[in-house]
Amino acid sequence: MFKWPRNPLNSDPVQHLSAFFLPRRHRSTDGEFGTFWQGQLDPLIYSCLASFPHFGAKLHVYSYDSNCELPPGVELVDARTICRDKTLVGRYIADGQRSFAKFANLFRYRMIRQTGLCWVDTDILCLRRPDFSSSPMVFGRQLEPSHSWSINNAVLKLPPQHPILRDLIKRASAVVDVDQPWGIIGPSLLTELAKKHRIDHHAREIQAFYPVPSSDCWKPLLPEACGEIRGATRAADFLHLWHESFRRHGLDKWAAPPVGSFLHEVCQDLGTLPRFRRASSEAELKALIADIAA
Contact 60, 75 (CB under 8 A): yes
Mean pLDDT, the chain, integer = 89
Lowest mean per-residue pLDDT among 8-22, 180-194, 211-225: 8-22
Query: Could you tell me what percentage of the chain is helix, strand and coil, using 3-state DSSP and rounding each to the nearest 5?
Result: 40, 15, 45
Q: How far is Cα 16 from Cα 69, in angstroms, rounded to an integer?
A: 9
The candidate with the shortest Cα–Cα distance to 171, out of 204, 137, 140, 194, is: 194
Other CB atoms within a 10 A radius of the CB of residue 208 amount to 18
Residue-wise pLDDT for 224-233, tens only, equals 999 999 999 9
- 17 has a pLDDT exceeding 50: no
Q: What confidence category does residue 147 fall into, taking pLDDT thresholds of 50, 70 and 90?
A: low
Q: What is the pTM of this model?
A: 0.88
In 3D, which of 241, 239, 262, 244 has the Cα closest to residue 140? Answer: 239
At 263-279, the pLDDT tens digits run 999 999 999 999 999 99
DSSP letter assigned to residue 28: -
Per-residue pLDDT of 59-101, as tens digits, reads: 999 999 999 999 999 999 999 999 999 999 989 998 888 888 8
Residue 5 has pLDDT above 50, yes or no: no
